[in-house]
Structures are given as structure tokens and as C-alpha cells.
Amino acid sequence: MYSEKVIEHFQNPHNYGRIENPDGIGEVGNMKCGDIMKLYIKLKGDAIEDIKFETFGCAAAIATSSVVTDLAKGKSIEDALKINAKDVVDSLGGLPNIKVHCSLLAIDALSEAVYDYYKNTGKEISEDLKKKHESIKKRDDE
């Protein structure tokens, strides 16, 4: 059912934990499956210097959180926001169709952390990021 990469990231997740005094926090959840992800970012200039996560959920939720942190660490905010679900799924060697939503949640957690950073620092938030934030919040409220 799961690839070796998924099992590896589930059993030994990368970048697990909290960041003290993060620059941004993204929290998302899927009430239907019970997955909850919290992602923390610390920036140096415009680059994600450190990134960590805490996830309550299935093996796929933990693995996708782990991979998103690997893919985003060291990237500029702009490049990190270009990471998509296909990047995450490909990095894991695939996911069962019923678990692909976990990759979307992980991407959403990253977007929400960046949104939180922009909001907290008064930086201009792009229309795309505003729309994504509104969509995530609307979905979370349903």
C-alpha cells in the first residue's frame, strides 16, 4: 500500500518538532479523516532557514509533512510556495489515491505559515496567497 519512502518518513520523520519563536505558523486539518498539521518556519532574509512540523494523523499525513519540510528548507519563500502536491507525492514514490489529500494538507500548512509570517510582519500578501488562505479557512470551517 505505501512505498518504502512513505514508511521511511513515517518511521523517521525529518524536521519533526517545534521552533521556538517562529516567524510563521501554519495549522490545517481535515475533519473527515482527522489529520491535523502544524508547521513552523524561521526565516533568514527571504529564505526558510528552519522548518519543523507537528502532525497528528496517519502515516501518509506524517510522511507528507516530513517531505514538505525537506523540500522547503533553504528555499526562498517564493520558491517554497511553488512546491505542489505532485512534488510531494513524487518525492515519496507515490501515495494511494485515497491518501493524496495528505499532500495537499501539507502544502496548505506551508502556505498558511507563509501567510502568517506576512501578516505578522506587515509585508504585502499576494492576491494568490490571500485567496488560498481564504479557501483553506473556508474548508476548515465546513
Q: What is the CATH number of the domain that holds 91?
A: 3.90.1010.10
pLDDT of residue 32: 74
Query: In the chain, pLDDT over 70 holds for what percent of residues?
Result: 97
Contacts of 33 (CB under 8 A, 6+ apart): 57, 58, 61, 101
Query: In the chain, pLDDT over 90 holds for what percent of residues?
Result: 89
Out of 8, 14, 33, 129, the active site residue is 33
Out of 25, 102, 110, 136, the active site residue is 102
- 33 belongs to the catalytic site: yes
CB-side neighbour CA atoms (13 Å) of 46: 7
Domain hosting 77: range is 4-141
Q: Per the structure, how many domains does the chain have?
A: 1
- Give the amino acid at 26: G
pLDDT digits (tens, 9 = 90+) for 57-95: 999 999 999 999 999 999 999 999 999 999 999 999 999
- 102 belongs to the catalytic site: yes
